[in-house]
Structure 1
Amino acid sequence: MRDVAQLAGVSHQTVSRVINDHPSIRDTTRQRVLDAMEALHYRPNPAARALVTARSRTLGVLSTTAAALYGPVSSINAVQSAARDAGYYLAVAQLSELNAEGIAAALDHLLAQAVEGIIVIAPQELVIEQLSGAGLVVPYVTLQGGPEYDARVLTVDQEAGARAATAHLVGLGHRSIHHITGPLEWFESQARAAGYSRELEAAGLPVPPLSEGDWSAESGYRAARGLLRDTDATAVFASNDQMALGVYHAAREAGRRVPDDLSVVGFDDIPEAAHFWPPLTTVLQDFTELGRRSVEHLIAEIEGGEAPGPVSLVPELIVRSSTSPR
């Protein structure tokens, strides 16, 4: 810092004020200091700053063991980008095991890094239950939590997305519409299954038994092989796009053409969905906005501001070529 001050022709206290974005610094002085920092490749030491300010400016992310899935990955990327824009660092702890001991170990890992708040991207009932009883001394918010935790939840309205997907198929004249869920301990799976069932009931249509998958294309394939034994089935709503890809595979094996003989809808709008053949009708979630709002909510609570209330974003149905009239 003293080297930067010497090159910029200012005191090291002025350099400190520039680093901490103090409002009393003139723009010309600020720019001289920033130019000197760039010339010397100087980066502030967050550990040293934490010792002086007693603040780590670090947010923790508690993520699911399924962090390789598109939804959790997109959420983590969005949170990281929003945190960086707000001047915060990010520490991520992935659950090694989905049990009380694994959750406690992940929380201990984050707290050992002096995180000032935690964003939970692990939308399973056990995780939320453990958090609510952990007596955390830092604030936290959950992405895609259950309805009983509304005070700390930021979410995409999964039920509304599922209802839109199901209503689209009903509007095309389909009367035997099956649903492949994700793992039913996930809040998203529960909400999407509920939206599907309620939309069919509202249309006066029967609700076939649910087929449970595990988010993978393989599980979608196995589930679809079973449900396509129902020769009346003309449409399938899969709870994510990877499982919808498995449905495509099973339909081809069964001699069912998509969409001529079987309409298929997914959920998430992964980047590859537009390149399936035929391109997949699916439900788009705005993970970027969800990540931005979660960071905004948490930082407001950390810094003593007024935290925004619970957020539920409405997803968008993206209609492509995998659905057609019955």
Structure 2
Amino acid sequence: MQEASPGRARVTIADIARAAGVSKPTVSRALNDHRDVGAATRERVREVAAELGWFPHAGARALRTGRHDTIGLLMPLTHWWGYADIQYGIAEETARRGLHLLVQPLHPGERAEREFVTRTLPALSIDGLILLMPEGTPRHVGALAHTGPPAVVIDDRGHRLDLPYVESTNRAGFRDLVRHLVGTGRKRVAFAGGQLDDAFAQERFEGYQDALREAGLPYDPELTVLPADREPTAEELGELLAAGPDAVAAAWDEIAFGVLNVAHTEGRRVPEDLAVAGFDDSPIARVMRPPLTTVRQPFREMGSAAVRMLLDAIEHGAPPAHFTVPTELVVRASCGAR
């Protein structure tokens, strides 16, 4: 077998043809799965190509097929544990389909968005783009609905952008959570939330109100904290507990952790005196004392669903307007029931 020259930077079609004892056109057709080349010859050419260390030129292949076999992922430079799970789901699905994944960071701010859309994106060799949106409604990124490659948004925050999106059941999930608390005998269920600027926060608050109405329980503003900042302070949570709830449903787990801390400081027993529950099922929720009842966001499933939607758009045109992945109630000891 002819060896590839150690000094050669790249094995050529001519190298493969000489080593396999066939013509260069035959090598080209064999490597491109042309039907006029017999199966035995195709296999022989591929074996020789592999032994010589040949690999196809990505640019040439893209010119020939119109595909890069690469998906882009636009990631905000925001630290949040959920992004890692979403990215894992995307990476798992792309690997399963034999595709490449190109991760592109997005710096915060309108200038960075404009730079990405007008300069960075046109230079990327990708077939489509998945977007993870940071807080605040992006301006220039929304232009991707009308320009650029096919794109899908993974959207747990309510940024629609006129693009196809994958979402979870925020409102229904929170309704299930409060239903569970009421079902354990709690009658004064409080809501500890954050800013309602993002759609997901508003939807969870609406789910809370839905469950109260369903149970025939009145809505009491004193049992609700909706701070100006992203999360309530310890003082605001203390005022909420002073209103006498027997349960607190927090809009996300980090707020629930704050409730547990304030309850511990005040000598309230959880769950005997106060049931506490959150939303998202963060990694810390299961190791809290007591372990936190919460609603699991299907982040990995959302990532894989976004890949499937994007490939459908690339191969067949516009995908469905959106795809919803259901949340799951996870019952642990903090609510007093298993």
TM-score (normalizing by structure 2): 0.78
> Do the aligned residues in 2 keep the contact of 1:234 with 1:262 (CA within 8 Å)?
yes
Q: In structure 2, do the counterparts of structure 1 residues 72 and 237 end up closer, same or farther at CA, with 3 Å as the change threshold?
A: same
> Do the aligned residues in 2 keep the contact of 1:60 with 1:110 (CA within 8 Å)?
no
- Separation in 2 of the partners of 1:6 and 1:198? 74
Aligned match for 1:49, one of 57, 61, 83: 61
Partner residue in 2 for 1:272: 284
Partner SS state of residue 284, structure 2: helix
Unaligned runs of 5+ in 1: none
- Does 2:97 align with 1:86? yes
Aligned match for 1:200, one of 204, 212, 218: 212
Compute the displacement of 1:71 (Å): 2.0
- Does 2:111 align with 1:74? no
> Do the aligned residues in 1 keep the contact of 2:117 with 2:140 (CA within 8 Å)?
no
Compute the displacement of 1:7 (Å): 6.2
> Do the aligned residues in 2 keep the contact of 1:56 with 1:115 (CA within 8 Å)?
yes
- Separation in 2 of the partners of 1:323 and 1:105? 48
Aligned match for 1:284, one of 293, 296, 306: 296
Partner residue in 2 for 1:138: 149
Instruction: Please identify the structure whose Cα radius of gyration is greater.
Output: 2
Q: In structure 2, do the counterparts of structure 1 residues 253 and 116 end up closer, same or farther at CA, with 3 Å as the change threshold?
A: same
Partner residue in 2 for 1:319: 331
Unaligned runs of 5+ in 2: 1-11
Partner residue in 1 for 2:127: 116
- Root-mean-square deviation (Å): 3.4
Q: When the two structures are aligned, how many residues end up with a matched partner?
A: 316
Partner residue in 2 for 1:168: 180
Compute the displacement of 1:70 (Å): 2.2
> Do the aligned residues in 2 keep the contact of 1:258 with 1:278 (CA within 8 Å)?
yes
TM-score (normalizing by structure 1): 0.80
Aligned match for 1:239, one of 244, 248, 251: 251
Deviations 1:24-74 (A, max 9, x none): 8877767666665665555544345335444333322223343x2122221
> Do the aligned residues in 2 keep the contact of 1:116 with 1:302 (CA within 8 Å)?
yes
- Does 2:70 align with 1:58? yes
Q: In structure 2, do the counterparts of structure 1 residues 151 and 137 end up closer, same or farther at CA, with 3 Å as the change threshold?
A: closer
Aligned match for 1:186, one of 183, 198, 206: 198
Identity percentage of aligned residues: 31
Q: In structure 2, do the counterparts of structure 1 residues 12 and 34 end up closer, same or farther at CA, with 3 Å as the change threshold?
A: closer
Q: In structure 2, do the counterparts of structure 1 residues 287 and 148 end up closer, same or farther at CA, with 3 Å as the change threshold?
A: closer
Aligned match for 1:250, one of 246, 262, 274: 262
Q: In structure 2, do the counterparts of structure 1 residues 256 and 138 end up closer, same or farther at CA, with 3 Å as the change threshold?
A: same
